[in-house]
Amino acid sequence: MKKRISIMLFVVAAMFISGCDEWENGVVVNGVKFAKFSYSSMKGYLVEDTLIQDYPCKKGLVVLYDNGSLNTFQFSKPFEFSDFVIPAKTWGMLDKEGNIYICFFSKDTEVQGYTCRGSIMGREGIQTSFHKNGKLNCFFSRKDIEIDGILCKGSVFHLIGLHDNGKLRNCTLARTMIINGKEYQKGTKIKLDKEGKML
């Protein structure tokens, strides 16, 4: 009896899951042609490289917001943004206003004087984020780097954050340092305000 109930629950769950993501072929959404598209998940596969909201989207998976505006995509070619160039094959995420706020760089990329770690893992890789003004927000460095006189640890385990004015917001110390007259040990996670004062 328990086995029969388990099987029935499994079948019902499978039916529910498969019904949640129905795909339609040859769909056009907001003038963009998709080889297939799911309205329930707002995901689709582009037929070809396509310009959407002025972003060069690579053929393949694209995710839209409920209102049909672009959410997640892969850049089909290099793209100038803020004061640097986003490499082709980078995955990008836009906020609801259409601003780039996260990139999964396809390779290490120099942004505002800092080398942000890239990855071949795509959307499951290492992310770099941006403020609404286009300035670098958070990133991972391959090596220790000095920002505003503070040596920050570089690693996929140690996020470096910047304020929208470019000043250091947070990092893990790569060495023991005196900051604002107080000693902090190597490995300490620090947070600073926009003026560089410890929080």
Q: Which two tokens stand for residue 98?
A: 């259409």
pLDDT at 124: 84
The chain-wide mean pLDDT, for the chain, equals 91
How far apart CA 43 and CA 21 sit, in angstroms, is: 9
Break the chain into its structural domains and give their ranges: 145-199
What torsion do the CA atoms of 107, 113, 114, 115 make, to the nearest 10 degrees?
20
Tens digit of pLDDT for each residue in 127-185?
999 999 999 999 999 999 999 999 999 999 999 999 999 999 999 999 999 999 999 99
Q: Which pTM does this prediction carry?
A: 0.85
Cβ-based burial of 146 (10 A; exposed 0-12, middle 13-18, buried ≥19): exposed
Instruction: Using the predicted structure, report yes or no on whether residue 2 has a pLDDT greater than 80.
Output: no
